[in-house]
Amino acid sequence: MLLISSLGVILIIITTVVMMLAALLSKKSIVDREKSSPFECGFDPKSSSRLPFSLRFFLIAVIFLIFDVEIVLLLPLIVLLPYSSPSVWLSVGIFFLLVLILGLYHEWNQGALDWAH
């Protein structure tokens, strides 16, 4: 028991020292204006290189990702059909779809799916 705890303490010390060394050695002390400016074929940029990001697009992308994950979670229900009773399978499937539809309704009601704004 003493061996395991002492090995744990040694591992924590080693990882802390390595992380501190990496943080100290990776810092760049000289900030060069040329290196931090955007590059457009050697010329000064005509306009701002940082375009404003559409928060609406990001929100739609996150909603799409959530619904994709939920569909992936629904697919194993088809494989489980022969191994479970139909009533349990149907109740789990309906409950999951109900949560999915309620989430969609909430997003729609809050206006997250409106592109007009």
Closest CA to 103 of 69, 78, 77, 76: 69
Q: What pTM did the predictor assign?
A: 0.46
Give per-residue pLDDT as tens, 26-69: 766 566 666 666 665 666 656 666 667 777 788 888 888 888 88
Distance CA 90, CA 27 (A): 57
Q: Residue 11: exposed, middle, or buried by beta-carbon count in 10 A (0-12, 13-18, 19+)?
A: exposed
- For residues 59 and 83, which has the higher predicted lDDT (pLDDT)? 83
What pLDDT sits at residue 33? 66
39-68 burial by CB neighbour count: b if 16+ within 10 A, else e? eeeeeeeeeeeeeeeeeeeeeeeeeeeeee
